[in-house]
A = this chain, B = another copy of it.
Amino acid sequence: MASGKSEEISAPKSRVILQQCLSAKLMVEPKSDASEAKYTQIGRGLVVYICFLKDASEDILDKMVKSILSACLSEDDNGKLVSVLDLPGDVLIIPQATMGGNLKGKKMQYHRNVNKETGLNLYTKFIQMCEDVMMKSDKCKERQTVVRYGTYGNRQVFSMDTNGPYSHVLEF
């Protein structure tokens, strides 16, 4: 950056919250005059809340996907922490632009967020890359684990059941 401020150089380009779950259910299409609300759901696995920040670009996606899917954050039947690929478990990706917020007085400000068009593009690619990695895993294929995801820009109506969320915040 022209200003030369060191905090701008190292500012994160994305932020994720990871939580392990036993099951989770997410609305992907709200109720309309024509139809009921539509939901997607997962069984045991990982809930990934995701937010892209200013200057985020596709070059961070590869590291994000590898880190998230291979991080040992899921408890297997023996209580050992393994990756969601090794569990193997499902993945639910939830877009959460609010995670870029900074508290200013009593209100949140979202100046750090990436613009919506870029955010949607990165979100879509991130999902595809997660699906690709899972498709290549023999364990995941055998257990028919799934990647599910919310609709970008929508309200994320959902419910979750966990035996310990084991929450982690990661920045890339």
Chain A residues within 8 Å of B, Cβ to Cβ:
6, 15, 17, 49, 67, 70-73, 83, 94, 96, 98-99, 101, 103, 106-108, 155-170
Contacts and interface: CB of A to CB of B under 8 A. Distances in A.
Contacts of A71: 103, 106-108
Contact of A168 (B83, B101, B160): B101
A163 B167 contact: no
Given A71-B103, A72-B108, A106-B71, A161 B159 contact: yes
Contacts of A103: 67, 71, 168, 170
Q: How many copies does the complex hold?
A: 2
Contacts of A96: 165-167
A165 B106 CA distance: 18
A159 to B, nearest CB: 4
A112 B25 CA distance: 33
| Chain A interface helix/strand/loop/mixed | mixed
Given A67-B103, A156-B165, A160-B160, 6 more contacts: A15-B169, A17-B167, A71-B103, A72-B106, A72-B107, A157-B163
A83 B106 CA distance: 8
Nearest to A21: B159
Contacts of A158: 162, 165
Nearest to A164: B155
A17 to B, nearest CB: 6
B72 A169 contact: no
